Chains A and B, each alone.
Chain A
Amino acid sequence: ETGVTQSPTHLIKTRGQQVTLRCSSQSGHNTVSWYQQALGQGPQFIFQYYREEENGRGNFPPRFSGLQFPNYSSELNVNALELDDSALYLCASSYSGTGGHNEQFFGPGTRLTVL
Chain B
Amino acid sequence: AQSVTQLGSHVSVSEGALVLLRCNYSSSVPPYLFWYVQYPNQGLQLLLKYTTGATLVKGINGFEAEFKKSETSFHLTKPSAHMSDAAEYFCAVSLSGNTGKLIFGQGTTLQVKP
Contact = CB atoms under 8 A, between A and B. Distances in A.
Partners in one complex: yes
Interface of A: 4, 31, 33, 35, 40-45, 48, 56, 58, 90, 92, 94-96, 100-109
A35 B102 CA distance: 9
Interface string B95-112: 011111111111100000
A40 to B, nearest CB: 8
Given A90-B43, A90-B44, A104 B102 contact: yes
B107 A4 contact: no
Contact of B98 (A41, A94, A108, A109): A94
A105 to B, nearest CB: 8
Given A56-B96, A103-B46, 17 more contacts: A33-B99, A35-B102, A42-B106, A43-B90, A45-B103, A48-B101, A56-B100, A90-B43, A90-B44, A101-B96, A101-B98, A101-B100, A102-B99, A104-B46, A105-B46, A106-B43, A108-B43
22 contacts: A33-B99, A33-B101, A35-B104, A42-B104, A42-B105, A42-B106, A42-B107, A43-B104, A44-B104, A45-B102, A56-B100, A58-B101, A92-B102, A94-B98, A101-B96, A102-B98, A104-B102, A106-B36, A106-B44, A108-B41, A108-B42, A109-B42
Interface string B30-72: 0000001000011111100100000000000000000000000
B87 to A, nearest CB: 14
Interface pairs A-B: 7 shortest CB-CB: A42-B104, A106-B43, A101-B97, A101-B98, A106-B44, A94-B99, A101-B99
A27 B96 CA distance: 22
Contacts of A103: 46, 49, 98
Nearest to A57: B101
